[in-house]
């Protein structure tokens, strides 16, 4: 490149024409651009652990030329069953063990919980950001212990207690005092209980401890009187 620039200066000394000078400058710029294209830069630091091309190969934009690995940024993907995904604590500390380092425990943090089950498996992904450790390598397979939330409390009622009317879910809630119970039709928000098709979880619309009608609700209307098993039988004279 120094020789090209020296040749350009020589052209000026020899009194060449303007067009010759411009042509020479263009040739120098083209050579510089080719040199710049020979240097490939990435947006992240790391170690190249694989080359997908050989010296002299032609490459096109978008084609891979190698693999760049950043050993300081590792994460792992775990899968959990449907019944467990609601218990995993987002942001909590996780512990990883790998066969390559028996007896050693590595730590990380839960950064993502899958929002949909994997196709055909019924399992959910959990992504864990692993704390930097030079002993770990991308591709290691291991076992991870995930943090869980405090006990998840749900208000479950039998599935048969919930019914739809005018596009919303409803239940009949039993109100009133002993021997004077009546039903109140309420709109509720429900969701299914994992692995319990016979139950639904009532999120809104009813309170813990309230009774709901499960059997015999067909034909009931708001305000109808009902009898609970705990009611005192009335005498024939009453």
User: Which is nearest to 123 in space by CA: 194, 200, 198, 197?
Assistant: 194
68 or 98: which leads in pLDDT: 98
Task: Pick the closest to residue 132 from 59, 51, 91, 73 (CA basis).
Answer: 73
Cβ(162)–Cβ(169) below 8 Å: yes
137-176 burial by CB neighbour count: b if 16+ within 10 A, else e? eeebeeebebbeeeeeebbebeeebbeeeeeebbbbbeee
Give the pLDDT of residue 234.
Answer: 61
Neighbour-count burial of 78, counting CB atoms closer than 10 A to its CB (0-12 exposed, 13-18 middle, 19+ buried): buried
Q: Say how far apart CA 163 and CA 217 lie, in whole Å.
A: 10
Which pLDDT tens digit goes with each residue over 194-228? 768 899 999 999 998 899 999 888 889 999 998 88
Token pair 């919980």 is found at: 113
pLDDT digits (tens, 9 = 90+) for 149-180: 766 677 889 999 999 999 999 999 999 887 78
Q: Check residue 15 and give its pLDDT.
A: 55
pLDDT value at position 158? 93
pLDDT per residue over 45-83, tens digit each? 777 878 888 888 888 888 888 887 777 788 899 999 887
Mean pLDDT of 31-56: 78
pTM comes to 0.46
């Amino acid at each position: 490149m120094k020789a090209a620039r020296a040749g350009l200066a020589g052209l000026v000394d020899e009194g060449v024409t303007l067009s010759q000078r411009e042509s020479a400058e263009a040739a120098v710029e083209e050579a510089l651009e080719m040199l710049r294209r020979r240097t490939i830069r990435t947006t992240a630091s790391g170690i190249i652990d694989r080359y997908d091309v050989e010296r002299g190969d032609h490459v096109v934009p978008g084609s891979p030329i190698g693999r760049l690995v950043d050993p300081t940024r590792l994460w792992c993907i775990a899968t959990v069953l449907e019944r467990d995904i609601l218990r995993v604590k987002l942001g909590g500390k996780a512990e990883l063990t790998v066969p390559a380092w028996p007896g050693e425990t590595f730590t990380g943090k839960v950064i993502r919980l899958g929002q949909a089950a994997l196709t055909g498996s019924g399992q959910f992904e959990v992504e864990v950001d692993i704390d930097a450790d030079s002993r770990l390598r991308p591709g290691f397979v291991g076992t991870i212990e995930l943090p869980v939330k405090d006990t998840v409390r749900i208000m479950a009622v039998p599935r048969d207690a919930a019914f739809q009317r005018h596009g919303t879910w409803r239940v009949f809630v039993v109100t009133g005092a002993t021997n004077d119970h009546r039903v109140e039709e309420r709109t509720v928000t429900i969701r299914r209980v994992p692995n319990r098709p016979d139950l639904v979880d009532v999120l809104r619309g009813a309170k813990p401890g309230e009774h709901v009608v499960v059997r015999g609700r067909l034909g009931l209307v708001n305000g109808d009187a009902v009898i609970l098993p705990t009611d005192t039988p009335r005498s024939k004279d009453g």
